[in-house]
Amino acid sequence: MAQVNLVNVSKIYPVKVCAVDNINLAIEDLEFLVLVGPSGCGKSTTLRMIAGLEEITEGSIYIGDRLVNDVPAKDRNIAMVFQNYALYPHMTVFENMAFGLKLRRYPKSEIIKRVKEAAEILSIKPLLDRRPRQLSGGERQRVAVGRAIVRKPLVFLFDEPLSNLDAKLRVQMRTEIRKLHRRLHTTMIYVTHDQTEAVTMGDRIAVMRDGVTQQVADPTTIYDKPANKFVAGFIGSPPMNFMIGKIIKTDGSLYFNEGRFRVKVVYEMLTKLEPYIDKEITFGIRSEDIYDKLFVSQAPPDNVVTVTCEVVEPMGSEVYLHLTTGKHSFIARVGAHDRPEINQDMDLVFDMNKVHFFDQDTEKTII
């Protein structure tokens, strides 16, 4: 079994800097879990504590049923792939992949078998006699992954392994690592600051901020039902749009009043928003839930907002419109042929069934 459990785990450095604050996380056997968050949020420190490269200050870490707090990294039966490939420049690809097995005194025949199996999986058999300087960045990354595969560990740990690759190669390697996960049938924990990597790769995502896990869930739940404003703004490209205003009640209906416009709250949200009547609240809407009124038939008048288009940003199959109400700026994602005039007013329709509201003080999700 390759479950990994973190129970009340904290890491506090001598200068009283709390890098990881009381994390509780259960990674299931064969799961692909992604730790994501901005730089300095504690995700790499968490991974290094699992690996045994950092001592924990408080709490317990289990790999399977085994408490590994005091177990050296070399005895934890894990393999780690770093952002820096850390290949030995004087060794061939074969020698780099075999090095760890030689240190553990595996028989030569077993070493050859494992290296060739890993090279076959990663499509690098023709490269086994080359040295790292003769390889591209993507090929070096494959060798680093292969060096981990030959160990046949219980758990694979990836610490931002694609950060040094160009955009096209990152997309390709994302797919390759997911295929590798299915083929090897093992547990993988992957650290990244890139929310696109997190959403496309993880069975579940753990979003971190300031050493604290904000939400742990599958990608769809994280995107559609964020636990708080930080998660809502971090996951998604472009990020969720936020506006501050008040909930007001008029003729028995509730409206979000931004100051320059107001939109009607749908019936299903009334109960949760009634305590916020006449109070400041944060309104959130994703860019794909905003439409140009010209392309919406029978748009409800209470959902129409007049704004000014400041920038039109073509993205190929779609267009990002950078808009302003005069009080707030936000982005709409529309079809490739929808290109309004710059600095001209336009009418938009908000899909009020898909909006979010956040408590202004706690930033927790209300809806």
Tens digits of per-residue pLDDT, 197-249?
Answer: 999 999 999 999 999 999 999 999 999 999 999 999 999 999 999 999 999 99
Distance CA 152, CA 101 (A): 10
Residues 269, 163: Cα–Cα separation, whole Å = 41
pLDDT the model gives residue 1: 58
Q: Which two tokens stand for residue 356?
A: 């979010």
DSSP SS3 for 367: coil
pLDDT value at residue 319: 96
Domain 4-234 has CATH 3.40.50.10490: no
Largest CA distance in the chain: 82
pTM, two decimal places? 0.94
The yes-or-no verdict on residue 82 having pLDDT over 70 is yes
Write the CB contacts of 50 (distance below 8 Å, at least 6 apart in sequence): 4, 6, 61, 63, 78, 155, 157, 189
The region, left, alpha or beta by phi > 0 then psi within -120 to 50, assigned to residue 123 is left
Answer yes or no: are the C-beta atoms of 101 and 111 closer than 8 Å: yes
Query: Phi/psi zone of residue 209: left (φ > 0), alpha (ψ -120 to 50 degrees), beta?
Result: beta
Kindly list the domain boundaries of the chain, sorted by start residue: 4-234, 241-359
pLDDT of the residue at 47: 97
Give the whole-angstrom CA distance, residue 188 versus residue 35. Answer: 11
Q: Give the whole-angstrom CA distance, residue 343 versus residue 332.
A: 15
- For 80, phi then psi, to 5°, come to -125, 135
Was domain 241-359 assigned CATH 3.30.565.10?
no
Instruction: Say what the pLDDT of residue 2 is.
Output: 87
